[in-house]
């Protein structure tokens, strides 16, 4: 699993698309706001984004329960394909006023911590500039 994080409209998807443009004979799938079930192969690249749109779908669950369920789905998907997670940083130190927005921010933060722990590579894209936070280079294609 590989993860790319950055603020909204900071170039995360453009970076991922540019990084994968030279792939030949591999299928690339983009999913926004959902974690797909498949079927996929180990040669496929599956890109999942907009986790902040998924969290509200788990209404009534605690932050830990949501993270546990989402991570289980992501780890299962990572076993059968090349998974790239695109994460939008919605915190940046600002505490939302509403309880619902705080729950969303906190849950995404907890999810991202676990995602990044499990990811072999983490890249932050800030205004189009990639920075490696974990791993040895900015390349997303597996050799």
Tell me the per-residue pLDDT of 67-93, one tens digit each, with 9 for 90 and over: 999 999 999 999 999 999 999 998 766
From first CA to last CA, the distance across the chain in angstroms is 14
| The pLDDT value given to residue 143 | 57
pTM for the complete prediction?
0.92
Residue 105 CA to residue 110 CA, distance in Å, equals 9
127: left (phi over 0), alpha (psi -120 to 50) or beta: left
| The pLDDT value given to residue 26 | 87
Give the pLDDT band (50/70/90) at residue 22: confident
């Amino acid at each position: 699993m590989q993860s790319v994080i950055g603020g909204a409209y900071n170039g995360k998807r453009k970076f991922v698309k540019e990084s994968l443009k030279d792939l030949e004979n591999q299928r690339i799938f983009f999913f926004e706001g959902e974690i797909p079930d498949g079927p996929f192969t180990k040669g496929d690249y599956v890109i999942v984004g907009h986790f902040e749109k998924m969290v509200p779908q788990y209404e009534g669950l605690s932050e830990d329960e949501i993270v546990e369920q989402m991570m289980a789905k992501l780890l299962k998907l990572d076993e059968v394909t090349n998974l790239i997670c695109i994460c939008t940083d919605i915190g940046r130190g600002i505490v939302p006023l509403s309880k619902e927005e705080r729950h969303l921010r906190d849950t995404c933060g907890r999810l991202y911590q676990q995602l990044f722990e499990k990811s072999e590579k983490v890249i932050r894209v800030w205004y189009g500039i990639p920075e490696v936070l974990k791993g040895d280079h900015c390349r997303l294609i597996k050799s």
